Structure 1
Amino acid sequence: MEVYKFGGASVANAVSVKNVAQIIKNSSPTHLLIVVSAMGKITDKLEALVKAYIYGDADAHELLDQVKSFHLAVMHDLFEDPKHPVYNDVANSFVEIEWLLEEEPNDAPDYIYDQIVSIGEIVSTKILTAWLNTSGCPATWVDARNYIRTDNTYKEAKVDWELTEKEIQTKLAPLLEKTIAVTQGFIGSTSENFTTTLGRDGSDYSAALFSAGLNANALTIWKDVPGVLNADPKWFTETEHIPELSYHDAIELTYYGANVIHPKTIKPLQNRNIPLQVRSFIHPDGPGTKITGVKTPLPVPSFIFKVNQVLISIFPKDFSFIIEENLSDIFSIFHKHKVKVNTMLNSAISFSVSVDNDDVKIKALLSNLSELYKVKYNTGLELVTIRYYNQGTIDRVTEQKDILLEVKSRHTCQIVMRNRSGE
């Protein structure tokens, strides 16, 4: 039993869909579950549609037409017969969005988000399943919402693991004894059968949940890179391929923002000691990267960059110490506004954090914090995290930079910085 996960880039157009089908045909697993994301940048387009519907800042129907036209073009390139059942199947999926758009927006934007954005995964998996069957690789489409059971925290649903495992083992595992199955990443459902999503880029996490529930031999995530690299090529002209990685280092790297793997992916696999392989769908015969329980540290320093950061410094208004009670209040406020802290530093009379800049969330957060504390902040910053750092690596990334905050632990260094004035 193996699980393959293909992201949006791997099914971005008809040529990509055919490539994925070829990878699947060439694969060796007897029993295979395929977890697929929405095609290309469709999730971005559907998010824009949600915003247009709720706030009226664009034509939601026009955006829906663009999404439908994109998928129609892909299907025309794949299926010569205009009466192929996939056309009706996909059209019926979009009807769910059309019904929503006929109603006035309610006061539950996260619920609306999940009902609309989830359709991207539904449609992509229907198209891939149809192409697999057309090209001589029998496959069955299955609905992830029948197995991934969650609470009703829309847009960031929490998985009911006990129920999810039961559904996967009793209903999905027997099916996979008979057929290859194609299902969706990113989505689940509540006990009332309302659609939920697991957080942006949550398809990797879905694949890990399915792998753990099936006790799979391995999970393979197919990417547009040759495996895990020690830095993002858009930041470094020279990068190094990492052939093997420990669960521990993978968790650290994803937590700090490495975007090759979703942060929640590793734990379900580690719990069951299931290897994770990161391989290239562009060069499927390449070695990739294997992530296991190996104890050896990373062979090279690894760099993770996050841009558009806000450094927020919080001070008591009466110049008293920042103590545990203050920190509890501060973290409650961050949790309330759903703002994730990327790094932090505490001193006697201040507490500083670096966070991603989200105009709506940060504005509300700063307003709330200012009710109780004195607050200062800087925008337009960069955060670099170096795993297994040394002074040479720090000097390399901070050249021509002003350092606003630096935090070091035994193996990890985090630096918040900006371009030096006048540069």
Structure 2
Amino acid sequence: MTLSYMPGFGNDFETESLPGALPQGRNSPQQPAYGLYAEQFSGSPFTAPRGANERSWLYRIRPSVRHHGRFKATTAYPEWKSAPNIGDNELAIGQLRWNPTPMPNVETDFISGIRTMTTAGDIYTQVGMAAHVYAANVSMVDDHFFNADGELLVVPQEGGVRFVTEMGVIEVQPGEIAVLPRGLTFKVELIDGPVRGYICENYGAKFTLPDRGPIGANCLANPRDFKTPVAWFEEKEKPCRLVVKWCGSFHVTEIDHSPLDVVAWHGNYAPYKYDLSTYSPVGAILFDHPDPSIFTVLTAPSGEEGTANIDFVIFPPRWLVAEDTFRPPWYHRNIMSEFMGLIRGQYDAKEEGFVPGGISLHNMMLAHGPDASGFEKASKVDLKPVKLENTMAFMFETRFPQMLTRYAAETDTLQHDYVDCWAGLRKRFDGTVRGDWT
């Protein structure tokens, strides 16, 4: 069973794996049932306003202090970078695009298969983000992980993954997303073979649902479609490892048991999943092309109203009906930096070269828009209602510049000829003829 979950709205949920494991009417009884330990898991300052205060009470076999033994620094994850990561490569600025990340040819689990593409902001002051890709071909068995630096928004592109967390199990397939809160201990199992996808590591305020404003009470992402796991626990007495990412560095400790031992929990700080097909898009029904903000699924706010630390935006199947309108995204320059991926199908502004598993990066104030063939097609097509089908693209958008990592600048998947997709945009101006689109 899963429960509906409302990210960032302060709702409280409860579940248990054994009857009576969850105490009623109090959080920290003197003697919890089954000999469990009560432990609070906080995702916000203690004095945050009630609506923004996030915490869960966990009732577990051992307290987490028994899972955090003597740590040793490790250099086992050299391609996972954190901001600030400046001057890591010599590649000049520009519009960039990559082919899909290849599957590994040696045994690689989820954490080992993470490669950072961009970083933004500052991990020490907890602002900004990092955009990663992952590719893995084996499950994590006795290794576990938690990230003290930020929450992880995971976007599978190929193959399903099972997040076995201390608060339950979440399975996600391509077309779904999962959000793992800062500090949550988990391991990752592969459901049906090798996997590949994208990760947004959010250093700042937690992801939440955006305000709908004039849209009103319905459409976009609806709270009832977010799901969180029921309690599940593992009483495993054998050697395990716990790897921790803390301020950009990695540390490992050896323990003699599984840390996934929460028997019951209640609260509002938890992992969750969302099926992107349940997103209800809105759009223009007469003319003109709204800003892509109408496709925002989740937002991580900054201290400035209306300016996001991160927006998670999708471009799902939808009807296009606007008349006398250039329907694909227009040519534009803006202050936001856009990391874009394609889960399946085609993207209407880039029908060639941008393939499922690929990536594009358009940093702040660097012009971009449809390629030459996309422009020609959209400029001359008969504007009948048409439905975009079998497509799902997304964007990690941030107010901060996204700094390229050395891995991203030097990987063989970088398309060095990407900028040529606009070479065919010829001069059309003729001051003596009005409306010539031949």
Task: Report the TM range for the smaller structure's normalisation.
Answer: under 0.3
TM-score (norm. length: structure 2): 0.26
Structure number with higher helix proportion: 1
Structure number with higher strand proportion: 2
TM-score (norm. length: structure 1): 0.26
